[in-house]
Amino acid sequence: MVFRYCFVASGLIAFLAFGCSGETNSSKENTTQVVQENNVTQLFIEEAKASQKAEDFFDQGNNLLDGQRYEDAIKAYDKAIAIKTESPEAWINRGISLKSLQRHKDALASYDTAIAIQPNKYEAWYNRGIALTSLQRYKDAIASYDKAIAIQPKKYEALINRGIALTKLHRYKDSIASYDRAIAIKKDLHQAYYNKACSYALQSNLKLAIENLDKAIKLVPDKYKKLAKTDPDFSKVRSEKQFRELLQ
């Protein structure tokens, strides 16, 4: 918006310089034209100021979101959106704030608005998938993650979350395939190894559950040893000696 304003202002200055050197007597027609050009310039100035104000509210919202002040963040994003309605980023971050307050349906509506503005926005589809997973709408969540992955195939986060949604539907083979796709992008992806272990444990496949859990633990020992001790996904294999030894 600032670039457009600068471009128009430069054009106006060039026009006035030409007028001053080429015409010594001002006519009514020329005066009207100059007034119209000044009005256009003023309009762009006001638009630039409004755009800057919207950006300021957006930045304020981001700072509040980082500070976990979600209600205040939403208010800031609402102010940004009131000035600049067609801002997918403000709608997305507003949705993240709503999701953080467990207002998943409202968050979903916010992401849908962002998608209506910019259909190929990866972050909107990705976060929409998270909201749908929280609402236990797993099939719809998978469809959202598929959209996100189609836009940015190398984003392993969407593949991991897609795997989680597939696991919730007991589609373990597909969930493992999704985790494997994520690992193909990033070899040391501890979250994917841990989730693979969960999928295998839910199928009572002790060997592969331990194999993948061991990989996750080697990457982040304290986190996954502690988590696996209470994670209900491992209830079918928790009593096994090999599993208990791994967590010692």
* 188-228: pLDDT as tens digits: 999 999 999 999 999 999 999 999 999 999 999 999 999 99
Give me the pLDDT at residue 44, please: 45
Cβ–Cβ under 8 Å, residues 103 and 77: no
Residue ranges for the chain with pLDDT beneath 50: 1-32, 34-37, 39-41, 43-44
pLDDT given at position 238: 95
Tokens of 145: 């993650």
**The predicted structure's pLDDT at residue 85:** 86
Write down the pLDDT at residue 218: 97
Asked if 129 and 115 touch (Cβ cutoff 8 Å), the reply is no
Tokens found for residue 140: 């719809």
| Three-state SS letters, 108-121 | HHHHHHHHHHCCCC
Which pLDDT belongs to residue 55? 86
